[in-house]
A and B are shown apart, each in its own frame.
Chain A
Amino acid sequence: MSRIADTFKRLRAEKRTALIPYITAGDPSLAATEAIVPALVSGGADLIEIGIPYSDPLADGPTIQLAAQRALEAGTTIAKVHESVKQMRTQGVEVPLLYLVYYNCIFRQGEERFVADAAAAGIDGLIVPDLPLEASESLRQKAKDAGLDLIYLLAPTSTPERIKRTTEQASGFIYCVSLTGVTGVRTHISTALEPFLSRVRKVTDIPLAVGFGISTPDQAAQVAGVADGVIVGSALINTIHENASSPEAAAEVAYSFMASFRQGIDRGTLTTVATND
């Protein structure tokens, strides 16, 4: 069983919801990323998504677009991100780490090379927001052979037929997009989320993590009531960007942000009845 599956299994036994932060690697520097990741773990993160910055991130709103731009301007490359991940593992980060990476970055390097390098760096899974099920077979197989989970996404617009076919291929967890739209801070959680999650639950018991638009500990608590994992990206990036002048300061800000979400989520999970049957 993969490190990702193990983590969700343990959390389920403890009746806790996974907290999954997202940060863009190299924003504003890889030194900052290397300081932020352990701080997120101390703050209560269960898994961490590391975004590989991309020039044309069409699933992302302005916050993550700008983060990617800052990272690329700072000279971040895929090879340097792998090096940073290795560094984090050496320094004792043990939680599952995933890359959020657009398909062209993988394709240009070659699926085989990208997967091998990611696995060697200590990555556990790949989330590829512009690679739908139909085009994913070859990458899924290569990832599997290297011990990585390819994480699929489902959206409120996914038809029952697509949900079924996706859950049949999925491993690790499924990334459920909370709304129709791009990533970014929102003022409230879509009312369509619950019915969407129950449509997915009906056909699978693979863990469901929800992302896009979750911006406050209260919203995280609300989502924790219905999901196995809560993903938070843009709100974290905004907070770090606005308050941190050095890698150390960024780590401190990231830690408090994470701790507040941890409290929110644990509160949300405790008030929930099991939703898994």
Chain B
Amino acid sequence: MSTQAVGYFGEFGGQYVPETLMPALEELTREFEAVRNDPEFQNELQALRQSYSGRPTPLYFAERLTQYAGGASIYLKREDLNHTGSHKINNTLGQILLAIRMGKRRIIAETGAGQHGVATATVCARFGLECHVYMGEEDTRRQALNVFRMELLGAKVHPVASGTRTLKDATNEAIRDWVTNIESTHYIIGSVVGPHPYPTMVREFQAVIGREAREQILEISGRLPDAVVACVGGGSNAMGIFHPFIDDREVALYGVEAAGEGVDTPRHAAALTLGRIGVLHGAKSYLLHDEDGQILPAHSISAGLDYPGVGPEHSYLKETGRAQYVPMTDREALDAFVKLSQLEGIIPALESAHAVAYGIKLARELGPKAQIIINISGRGDKDVAEAAELLEKGGFQL
């Protein structure tokens, strides 16, 4: 895909960061470009994907979910079967190899639900690097199990008490750490957000999802899918599965945002559906902010989607019309969380449940001749305690 200026997707992206970071971003861009087509690096990464993370992940025909929806054939891309339980490790494996190449011995990361924090702590343990994870205080409480997992893996978890005490503030704090320790430290951003080259680099490391899915669906069915559906917080699992289908114009791409309590309430995280263009964490993109540019708090039952911004390439795909973005509420996601568990024996992450919710709807609309792929970006073990509480509160009958 063409980008108009280096580091931009149309008008989105760029590098809006303090001067102190600019030389580090220049270095990172150079190193990333160098490894992008370096067979030795790619082979090493590929070997780790296979032997360490368990790739390729299956593309699974969800027979009972398909029957339930009563429309298109539904295939699930099983990113939940990755080591550490989500797609996040695709990115952290790539970035840790890059960090080692640059001679950085100290790794920092931000995390919301803890999935990216765990994936980062995991690769740091595997390669013996020092690891610091910033996590909103509110999220350390909601995801105490993941805090323990990170600590068990040898990482230091820093609770962040500023601002809304969630992912946005954890990201601010990670950037502040990076500005301070720039010489020794590589910052592994967990999504397709942040200043260039992160949105492109993270997409490239995640594009393995879409490359596999494209090959697998061709092998299984002999043709491309009619649609690909993925949830979007920052948007890395979605960019990863979308990217290899971008030039297949007949494949519709749907990104599913968190509508929280509803897009007609202030409690949602639907930056693409309801946001305005702005600048957050180094990139220009759609964003929830007020008329003075003050960032508004986001809300979603899923901590991984609880973010007021979105990756700049998604803004570009929205603007060009190549992808559609739709909001699903907390309640719709919870319903899909239960449905997938009971119909397929697969407990999805609450993030991924948003994609399942829209996928069911879309399958009905498209009818039985169509076929769609839903990306199951992570497994739901981390969410069961919270889900139990929410289901009871919401009056769901299991």
Contact = CB atoms under 8 A, between A and B. Distances in A.
A9 B56 CA distance: 66
A88 interface: no
B19 A132 contact: yes
A271 interface: no
A135 interface: yes
B182 interface: yes
A55 interface: yes
A40 to B, nearest CB: 25
A102 B287 CA distance: 15
A12 to B, nearest CB: 25
A103 B19 CA distance: 13
A154 to B, nearest CB: 6
A13 B305 CA distance: 57
Contacts of B26: 159
A109 to B, nearest CB: 7
Interface stretch (B275-283, B371-379, B382-390): B275-283
Nearest to A128: B16
A180 B290 CA distance: 31
A108 B15 contact: no
Interface stretch (B135-143, B173-181, B201-209): B173-181
Interface stretch (A57-65, A223-231, A250-258): A57-65
A72 B179 contact: no
A155 B280 contact: no
Interface in B179-216: 179-183
B55 interface: no
A55 B290 CA distance: 11
Contact of B279 (A130, A154, A162, A182): A130
A55 B295 contact: yes
Contacts of B280: 56, 104
Interface size class of B (residues with CB under 8 A): 35 or more
A155 B178 CA distance: 14
A249 interface: no
Nearest to A177: B20
A58 B176 contact: yes
A158 interface: yes
A134 interface: yes
Nearest to B293: A108
Interface string A117-159: 0000000000001111111000000000000000011111111
A135 B182 CA distance: 21
A182 B180 contact: yes
A131 to B, nearest CB: 6
Interface in B282-320: 282, 284, 287, 289-295
Contacts of B291: 108-109
A132 B17 contact: yes
A155 B294 contact: no
A77 interface: yes
29 contacts: A54-B294, A55-B295, A56-B169, A57-B172, A58-B176, A72-B294, A78-B292, A102-B293, A103-B279, A104-B278, A105-B293, A108-B291, A108-B292, A108-B293, A109-B292, A130-B18, A130-B279, A132-B17, A132-B19, A133-B19, A155-B19, A155-B20, A156-B20, A157-B19, A158-B23, A162-B23, A177-B20, A180-B181, A182-B176
Interface of B: 14-24, 26, 162-163, 168-169, 172, 175-176, 179-183, 276-282, 284, 287, 289-295
Interface of A: 54-59, 61-62, 65, 69, 72, 77-78, 102-109, 129-135, 152-159, 162, 166, 177, 180-182
Given A54-B294, A108-B276, A155-B20, 7 more contacts: A55-B295, A59-B176, A69-B163, A78-B292, A153-B18, A157-B21, A177-B18
